[in-house]
Amino acid sequence: MTDAFAYSFTCDLTPAEIVERFRRAAGWPWLERDNDNWGPYYSASVLPDPHRGMVKLIAEPDHYVINVVLRSDASAVGTLFEDVRDTIVDKLLPAIGAKNIHDTELYE
């Protein structure tokens, strides 16, 4: 089973400030990374083994994107996947005062 989604938002904080608040709000371990296509970004592994879940914070010139891909070989993971979405919507985005939140295209 796979679930993938992304949110675009604006925020007055720097990426490092956002990630620090995300760490406090959800406890996910965020790492700074780099990609040839999008440049520097942060990522967190958000599901326990054997499931695979990656959340990425990508900074664009005028907004941010949270990109989420959740995968599992198990068939009954709906609640687990829903918990990740709920954490993002109910904890992470409010913790940073995110504005102009809307669904957007995934970054691949």
The mean of the pLDDT values for the chain is 93
Q: Is-contact 85 92, C-beta < 8 A?
A: no
Structure tokens at 16: 């490092």
Confidence of residue 84 (pLDDT cuts 50, 70, 90): very high
Confidence of residue 37 (pLDDT cuts 50, 70, 90): confident
Residue 93: count other Cβ atoms within 10 Å of its Cβ. Answer: 21
Structure tokens at 60: 């664009």
Q: Is the pLDDT reported for residue 1 higher than 90?
A: no
Q: Is the pLDDT reported for residue 77 higher than 90?
A: no
Confidence of residue 58 (pLDDT cuts 50, 70, 90): very high
Confidence (pLDDT) at 80: 87
Sign of CA dihedral 88, 48, 55, 105: negative
The full set of domains in the chain, from first to last, is 2-103 (3.30.310)
